[in-house]
């Protein structure tokens, strides 16, 4: 199969591939996922192999709005409020799992990560499949997440059976992961749904995780292009450094947007472009530490930590 025939907009075809035990690039509003039917152990194991991901890093279970969430996880009051407010949407809830959730999805943990994506094609696919689908971001372990179908094919080549093309992701960075396993509510990975949004809905003070995280995969080094990533607090500083690099023959590019939505939307594509263009250094200007800016800073810091 050549590369272009690996990309389709045909949901039924993607559904057939999944039901035969295949793995499919699935669009979501955040980033593209690498989907497999959660209850198919062999298909899930292929997802780990293709990503090159350690099996100790569990997977998010994606559900349709028509699914009965209670079959998969136990949502406490806070989790229920958050689900009502933000699903379908860019929020993953980490909750105690039910006995239906296979060990190969959670790495035998007693929790499961659940999400209902806000993407019509993803929901059509989930409804067609009629079962839950695991979907980690469809990139190789530690690298930049894909935000369009071509990124998935470029990264995974013929190790992915099919990619369902749902256009460009409208958010561009991964979902907020919130742990609701006891009376505390904790943000394990920042995203479009902010700590303030979560506090407003639950009426609780929300703490972000620092130190070693309880979501394996929240490693310090992640989301990394080949280019070295350097962080700056102002555009002036970044441009000054860029000019210095250019003078010494080092190919550098500045990354910045005043608009947070556009910054998030183009972040991974820009990191990929830097590599394609042969830039040795990406000089990224950190956005303010509020709202979506928190998530952008998180991804940029991890990209820089991989240098």
Single residue of 8, 64, 137, 143 touching ligand TXA by CB under 6 A: 137
CA distance 111 to 159: 29
Min dist. Cβ of residue 67 to Mg ion (A): 23
Choose the one of ligand TXA, Mg ion, none that binds residue 28, judging by a C-beta under 5 to 8 angstroms depending on kind. ligand TXA
Q: Is 58 in the site for ligand TXA (CB under 6 A)?
A: yes
119 vs 297, beta carbon nearer ligand TXA: 119
Token output for 84 = 């009502």
Q: Cα(43)–Cα(235) distance, rounded to whole angstroms? A: 46
| 175 touching ligand TXA, by CB under 6 A | yes
Residues 26-55 that bind ligand TXA (CB under 6 A): 28, 30-31, 33
Q: How far is Cα 165 from Cα 82, in angstroms, rounded to an integer?
A: 29
Nearest alpha carbon to residue 294 among 202, 212, 176: 176
271 binds ligand TXA (CB under 6 A): no
Q: Taking CB under 6 A as the rule, does residue 59 contact ligand TXA? A: yes
Among 137, 170, 175, 279, binds Mg ion (CB under 5 A): 137
Site membership for ligand TXA, residue 224 (CB under 6 A): no
Tell me if 194 contacts ligand TXA by CB under 6 A: no
The residue at minimum Cβ distance from Mg ion is: 137
Angstrom distances, CA of residue 100 to CA of 37, 92, 96, 306: 13, 18, 12, 37
Q: Which residues contact 85 (CB under 8 A, 6 or more apart)?
A: 197, 201
Distances (CA, A) of 70 to 74, 80, 87, 175, 231: 6, 10, 14, 21, 43
* Site residues, Mg ion (CB under 5 A): 137
* Site residues, ligand TXA (CB under 6 A): 28, 30-31, 33, 57-60, 92, 94, 106, 109, 111-113, 115, 117, 135-137, 174-175, 177, 215-218
């Amino acid at each position: 199969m050549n590369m272009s025939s690996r990309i389709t907009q045909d949901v039924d075809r993607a559904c057939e591939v999944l039901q035969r035990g295949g793995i499919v690039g699935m669009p979501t509003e955040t980033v593209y996922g690498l989907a497999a039917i959660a209850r198919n152990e062999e298909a899930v194991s292929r997802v780990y192999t293709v990503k090159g991901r350690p099996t100790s890093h569990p997977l998010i279970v994606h559900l349709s709005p028509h699914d009965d969430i209670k079959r998969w996880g136990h949502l406490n009051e806070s989790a229920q409020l958050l689900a009502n407010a933000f699903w379908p949407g860019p929020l993953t809830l980490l909750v105690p799992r039910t006995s239906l959730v296979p060990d190969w999805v959670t790495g035998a943990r007693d929790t499961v990560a659940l999400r209902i994506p806000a993407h019509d094609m993803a929901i059509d696919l989930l409804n067609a499949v009629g079962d839950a689908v695991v979907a980690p971001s469809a990139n190789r372990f530690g690298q930049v997440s894909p935000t369009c179908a071509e990124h998935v094919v470029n990264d995974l080549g013929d190790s992915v059976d099919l990619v369902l093309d749902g256009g460009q992701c409208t958010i561009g960075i991964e979902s907020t992961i919130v742990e609701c396993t006891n009376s505390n509510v904790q943000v394990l990975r920042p995203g479009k749904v902010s700590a303030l949004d979560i506090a407003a809905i639950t009426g609780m003070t929300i703490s972000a995780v620092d130190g070693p995280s309880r979501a394996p995969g929240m490693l310090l080094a992640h989301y990394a292009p080949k280019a070295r990533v350097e962080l700056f607090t102002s555009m002036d500083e970044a441009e000054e450094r860029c000019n210095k690099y250019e003078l010494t023959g080092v190919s550098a590019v500045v990354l910045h947007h005043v608009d947070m939505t556009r910054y998030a939307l183009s972040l991974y594509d820009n990191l990929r472009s830097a590599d394609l263009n042969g830039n040795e250094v990406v000089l990224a200007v950190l956005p303010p530490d509020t709202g979506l800016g928190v998530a952008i800073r998180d991804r940029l810091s991890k990209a820089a930590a991989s240098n």
